[in-house]
């Protein structure tokens, strides 16, 4: 699965997207754990970030369907 990264997440990882291997039936919480495992530098940001699955924000209990469009969206400040 490809996870699109935005704002601070993109800066921390140094890439616009990352590839993750998740098993069938994985939830957003599983996705968060996999992100921390593969990219520990994202850990501080993940607690404040939203995950979008197929262009809709999803809570941690939501199942991530195979082939879903996934995005990690950290908080953004403006001014």
* CATH number where 44 lies: 3.10.20.30
The answer to whether position 79 is within a domain reads no
**CA–CA separation, 23 and 29 (whole Å):** 13
The answer to whether position 29 is within a domain reads yes
**CA–CA separation, 44 and 30 (whole Å):** 17
The answer to whether position 50 is within a domain reads yes
Structure-token pair, residue 61: 């209990």
51-65 pLDDT tens trace: 999 999 999 999 999
**CA–CA separation, 24 and 14 (whole Å):** 28
**CA–CA separation, 13 and 16 (whole Å):** 8
- Rounded to two decimals, the pTM is 0.89
Q: pLDDT at position 79, please?
A: 44
The answer to whether position 36 is within a domain reads yes
Range of the domain at 69: 2-73
Tally of domains within the chain: 1
The answer to whether position 78 is within a domain reads no
């Amino acid at each position: 699965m490809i996870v699109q990264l935005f704002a601070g997440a993109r800066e921390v990882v140094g890439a616009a997207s990352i590839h993750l291997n998740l098993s069938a039936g994985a939830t957003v919480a599983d996705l968060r754990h996999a992100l921390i495992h593969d990219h520990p530098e994202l850990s501080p940001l993940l607690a404040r970030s939203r995950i979008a699955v197929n262009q809709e924000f999803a809570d941690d209990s939501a199942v991530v369907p195979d082939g879903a469009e996934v995005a990690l969206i950290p908080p953004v400040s403006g001014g």
